Amino acid sequence: MTFHLEKQKTKSTPYVLIDEEKGYMKLEGRSFHENVVEFFKEINAWMDTYLTSDFRAFTFDCEMNYFNSSTAKLLFNMIMKMDKHACANKKITLNWITTESNDIVIECGESFQEDVCNLEFNLVINTDDISKGPQ
């Protein structure tokens, strides 16, 4: 049985989708929860198990528009775990998605990108679309 998790975003936590069958995970929104470690506990536990399994490909779309330093540390640790397990037999792709006006998230993505050696890290910078209004 494959793992599936979907959590709707709140004011202080991101939308989360994990679809193990498709080898896919997405985080989207904001993360400044008081207890970030607790919020990410289930996600990290799944990732520890999944990354040591026989998967062939895994994609992580990270589209966070704001996060606190505790979340940044957790994201960094997750990325380093993925990088450690990425190899010829296990293709891992990270799409760090943001908008051109979000300098802090762009800089954070560039910093993370410098630290990876094995996984494919794509910095995806979309044009700001003011017609959408605030996110």
- How many domains does the chain fold into? 1
Whether 134 maps to a domain, the answer reads no
pLDDT digits (tens, 9 = 90+) for 96-108: 999 999 999 999 9
Q: Which of 135, 95, 94, 101 is nearest to 118 (CA)?
A: 94
Q: In the prediction, which pLDDT does 1 show? A: 80
pLDDT digits (tens, 9 = 90+) for 65-113: 999 999 999 999 999 999 999 998 999 999 999 999 999 999 999 999 9
pTM above 0.75, yes or no: yes
Determine the 3-state secondary structure of 78 from DSSP: helix
Whether 119 maps to a domain, the answer reads yes
pLDDT at residue 132 tops 70: no
CATH of the domain at 25: 3.30.750
Whether 74 maps to a domain, the answer reads yes
Residue 32 CA to residue 46 CA, distance in Å, equals 21
**Residue span of the structural domain in which 114 resides:** 4-128
